[in-house]
Structure 1
Amino acid sequence: MKAVRVGLVLLALLLLAGVPWYGSDVLVQFGINTLLLAVLAQGWNIIGGYTGYASFGNSVFYGLGSYGVAIAMVQWGLPFGVGLAFGVALAVVFAFVLGLPVLRLRGHYFAIATLALSQVMTAIVSNVELAGRNIGLVLPPLNNDRLFYELSLALLVVATLAIFWLTRSRFGFGLIAIRENEEAAAVMGVNTTLYKVLAFALSGVFSALAGGVHAYWITFLDPESAFDIGLNVKMIIMAVFGGPGTVLGPIVGAFTLSAISEYLSSAVTSIAGLFFGIVIVVAVVLMPRGLADLLRHLCKTGWRYFIDNIKAHRL
C-alpha cells in the first residue's frame, strides 16, 4: 500500500513537471499561481495545522519576501537569488522579534494580533523610501514562465518534504503535543516557546520564498498587494479544506479550490466572490478536519460522517 502511494505521488509529480512542455501558456500561468498558493498553504500548515495556532500573519512573511527580492534587484542591483535570501532573512528576523511576544497569546487573541500585523506592515512600508513608498517597485522583466513554473514546483516539493520530515521528527512531535495540549507538553519537557517560534519562522521561510518568486514573476510590487490579508485567508481555507496537520492535504485543497475558483471566475462571475465564504461554512460544519479526514472515514461510516460532525459541534 505504501509503495502504491509513493508511486502515485511520483507519477503526479512527473505530470506536473511536464505541464510547461505540453500545456498552454494559460495553463502554465494558472499552474504558477496554484503552486505558489500550495506553498503558502503548506507554510501555514506548519504553524496552523501542526502547532495549532491560527496565524493571520503569514501574508506579512509573503510581503517581506516580495520586498526582499524587489529591493535587492531594483535598488541594489543584486541577482534574484540574493534577493530571495534577503527576503527570507527579513521573514526570519520578523518571526523571532514579533513571534516571542505574539505567540504568548492563544486562540482568538493570537488570531486578532496576527491579523493586525498586515495592516501595520502596509502602513510602515508605504512610508519607506527604499521600498518605493505607496508607488511600489517595478522589477526587471524575465519572460520565462517555464522557469517560474519549475521553480514554483521545486519550492512546493521542498515545502512538502519539510512537512513530511515534521511528521517523523522530534520537533514535529513537539509541535503536535503543543497543538493537543500545550500545558501537558510543557510538563513533559517540551520547550513550548522555542518550538512555537521556530515553527513560526519555518512557516515564514516558505511564505517569503513564495512571495519572492511571485514578485519577480509579475514584476510589480506595492504595499497593498504585498501584504494583502485576503491572501492569508486563502491559504488558511485551502489548508483547512484539504486537511490541516497532514502532508498532502493543503496541496489537495490548493489545487481543488484554485481550479473551482478559476472556473467560477470565468463561467459564473457573479458568484465567484462568494465561493471561499461557502467553502469556509462547508469545511467547518461538515468536515472540520478536511478532505484527508473525509476520505479516510467516508468509506467506513458513509453519510454518518457528516451527521457526526454536525452533532459534535452542536449545529
Structure 2
Amino acid sequence: MKAWQWIGLAVALSVLASLPWWGSDVMVQFGINALLLAVLAQGWNIIGGYTGYASFGNSVFYGLGSYGVAIAMVQWHLPFAFGLAFGVLLAVVFALLLGVPVLRLRGHYFAIATLALAGVMAAIVSNVPLAGQNIGLVLPPLNDDRLFYGLALGLMLISTGVVWWLTRSRFGFGLIAIRENEDGAAVMGVNTTLYKVMAFTLSGVLSALAGGIHAYWITFLDPESAFDIGLNVKMIIMAVFGGAGTVLGPVIGAFTLSAISEWLSSEVTSIATLFFGVVIIAAVVLMPHGLMDLARRARLGTLTWRYLGENVRANKL
C-alpha cells in the first residue's frame, strides 16, 4: 500500500474509533449494525470469496452464536464471555460435522444444500425447550451502546486481519487455488477437503461471534430471526458489492449498502426496498467485481465507459 492509502486507512479507523464520543445515539446504533454486517460479510468472504463456495449456511453459524449467548446467560446464568465461547463451540462442532459431507458438493448443489440448513436448524431449535422453543429467549438488558460498539469494532478489525493474513499465508494460497481450479489444486498437493472444512469453520466462528454480540445487544432471540436466510443473502450482496476475494471490499460494501439502505428507509420509506434492489442490480451489472476493482481501475487510469459497456454486454442486457 502507498503512503496516502495508509493515511486514508488511519483516518478512517480514527473516525470509527471515536464515533461513540462525538456521534449521536442513532449513529452509534447504525455503527454497531454496520460493523456486525461487515464481520458477517468478511466471514462469508473466506468461504465464498477466497474458497469459491457460495455458502448460504452462514446464517446458521450466526444463529448458533446467538443461541449460545442466550442459553448461557438466560438458562445457565453464566457471563456473556462464556456465552460467546459456547456459541463458537456450537459453530465449530456444526462446521466439522456437516462440513465434510456438504463441501463435497460443488456449484449450485452446494448452494442449495447450505440454503436448506437454516430452515432445518430453525425447525430443530423451535422444538428444544432449552432454547425457548418458538417463544424465544429474553436476555438481561445492558444499555451500553458504547460497549457493544467497541466489541463490534474490535471483531471487525479481527475479521479483517484474518482475511489479510489469508492473502499472505500458505493456507490462503491453498484456498485461492481451490477457487480457481479445485482438481488442479488437489493434483498440486493441496488437501482440498481439509482446507475447505477449515475455511468453513473459520467463516463460522466469525459469524457466530457476530451473532452472539448482536443477540446480547438486542436482548431478544427467536428461531425465525436467528436463522434468517435473508441475513445470509445480505452478507453475500455486501461482500460482492464491495469486492469478494479482497481484504477491504466486504467492509466497504457493508458500510456503503448499510448507509444507502438507512437513507432510503428514512427518506423514501414506501419504495425503499425497490430502490435498494435497483442499486444492487446496477452495481452487479456495471461492476461485477465490486467497488475495489472499480477503484483499482480508476487509480490505474483504465476505468472507461468501454469497461462498463463490456459488463453490460456480458450480462446480455
- Determine if the TM-score, normalized by the shorter chain, exceeds 0.5: yes
CA distance in 2, matches of 1:61, 1:196: 16
Query: Structure 1 regions of 5+ residues with no counterpart?
Result: none
Q: Deviations over 1:182-215 (max 9, x none)?
A: 1111111111111011000000011000000000
Q: Deviations over 1:216-249 (max 9, x none)?
A: 0000000000000111111000000000000000
Please state if 1:2 is matched with 2:17.
Answer: no
| 129 and 268 in structure 1: CA distance in 2 versus 1, 3 angstrom threshold | same
Please state if 1:163 is matched with 2:170.
Answer: no
SS class of match (2:48): helix
For normalisation by structure 2, the TM-score amounts to 0.97
SS class of match (2:117): helix
Q: Which shifted more, 6-15 or 88-97?
A: 6-15
CA distance in 2, matches of 1:284, 1:256: 14
CA distance in 2, matches of 1:33, 1:10: 22
Give the C-alpha shift of residue 306 in structure 1: 1.0
Q: 8 Å contact 1:237–1:276 — kept in the other structure? A: no
Q: Which amino acid counterpart does residue 134 of structure 1 have in structure 2?
A: N
Q: 8 Å contact 2:264–2:276 — kept in the other structure? A: no
1:254-269 equivalences in 2 (<5 Å): 254-269=254-269
Q: Which amino acid counterpart does residue 308 of structure 2 have in structure 1?
A: F
CA distance in 1, matches of 2:63, 2:276: 22
Q: Tell me what 1:127 maps to.
A: 127
Give the C-alpha shift of residue 314 in structure 1: 4.1
1:80-229 equivalences in 2 (<5 Å): 80-229=80-229
1:4-83 equivalences in 2 (<5 Å): 4-83=4-83
Q: Tell me what 2:314 maps to.
A: 312
| 228 and 275 in structure 1: CA distance in 2 versus 1, 3 angstrom threshold | farther
SS class of match (1:274): helix
Q: 8 Å contact 2:91–2:201 — kept in the other structure? A: yes
SS class of match (1:18): helix
Q: 8 Å contact 2:294–2:303 — kept in the other structure? A: no
Q: 8 Å contact 2:69–2:216 — kept in the other structure? A: yes
Q: 8 Å contact 2:40–2:207 — kept in the other structure? A: yes
Aligned length: 315
Give the C-alpha shift of residue 105 in structure 1: 0.8
Give the C-alpha shift of residue 137 in structure 1: 0.3
Q: 8 Å contact 1:240–1:283 — kept in the other structure? A: no
Q: Which shifted more, 24-33 or 299-308?
A: 299-308
| 10 and 175 in structure 1: CA distance in 2 versus 1, 3 angstrom threshold | same
Give the C-alpha shift of residue 59 in structure 1: 0.4
For normalisation by structure 1, the TM-score amounts to 0.98
Give the C-alpha shift of residue 281 in structure 1: 2.1
Give the C-alpha shift of residue 313 in structure 1: 4.1
Q: Tell me what 1:291 maps to.
A: 291
Please state if 1:240 is matched with 2:244.
Answer: no
| 113 and 79 in structure 1: CA distance in 2 versus 1, 3 angstrom threshold | same
CA distance in 1, matches of 2:257, 2:306: 25
RMSD: 1.1
CA distance in 2, matches of 1:202, 1:243: 20
CA distance in 1, matches of 2:275, 2:69: 32
SS class of match (2:160): helix
SS class of match (1:203): helix
Q: 8 Å contact 2:69–2:86 — kept in the other structure? A: yes
Give the C-alpha shift of residue 278 in structure 1: 2.4
Query: Structure 2 regions of 5+ residues with no counterpart?
Result: none
Q: 8 Å contact 2:84–2:209 — kept in the other structure? A: yes
CA distance in 1, matches of 2:311, 2:127: 48
